[in-house]
Amino acid sequence: MPNCPKCHQPVNAQVTTCPYCRTELKAYGHPGIPLHRATGEEFLCNTCTYHEDDTCTFSKRPYAKECTMYSDRSQESQQITATRYSLGWRHSLQLWCQRNQPLLLLCGLIVVSLAIAFYARK
Ligand code: SF4
Ligand SMILES: [Zn+2]
């Protein structure tokens, strides 16, 4: 459950206005449009992905204190790191399987032989 950026009380992610301090949490009163707010003195743009890559064309840039398009660049880099980690893990497994193909084949043959021997005894 997210916290209200003003009073820091936990609020339901779908509410459009904070039930404690009446701060507007969604843009245009629509629960699907988050309204990001700067919490301190710093402007949102300083930590926004679109400011960093210079793709934002909003007139309030670089002094936005509220924005519907804000994208936290620290979250973006965490997502990229997580994706890289999961790709790395899969890639490592793939490499290990390729390198140890003879061993895997031998293990497969042993399992099949044991299964045949087990069912032939019955
Ligand atoms: S999207 Fe909003 S917060 Fe991001 S750079 Fe543009 S105006 Fe600033
Ligand atoms: Zn509040």
Tell me, yes or no, whether 95 lies in a domain. yes
Tell me, yes or no, whether 51 lies in a domain. no
Q: Which residues surround ligand 2, an ion (CB under 5 A)?
A: 4, 6-7, 18, 20-21, 23
Tell me, yes or no, whether 58 lies in a domain. no
Tell me, yes or no, whether 78 lies in a domain. yes
Q: Is the pLDDT of residue 114 over 70?
A: yes
What pLDDT was estimated at residue 87? 62
What pLDDT was estimated at residue 45? 95
What pLDDT was estimated at residue 86? 64
Ligand found nearest the CA of 20: 2
Number of domains in the chain: 1
Residues 6+ apart with CB under 8 A from 64: 38, 43, 44, 45, 48, 58, 70
- pLDDT tens for each residue of 18-48: 999 998 999 888 888 888 888 888 999 999 9
What would you report as the CA-atom Rg of the chain, rounded to the nearest whole angstrom?
A: 27
CA 48 – ligand 2 centroid, Å = 23
Name the residue range of residue 117's domain: 74-121
Residue nearest ligand 1's atom 8 by CA:
45
The number of the ligand 1 atom at minimal distance from the alpha carbon of 67 is 2
Residues 6+ apart with CB under 8 A from 47: 72, 73, 74
- pLDDT tens for each residue of 49-102: 999 999 999 999 999 999 999 999 988 777 766 766 666 677 777 778 877 888
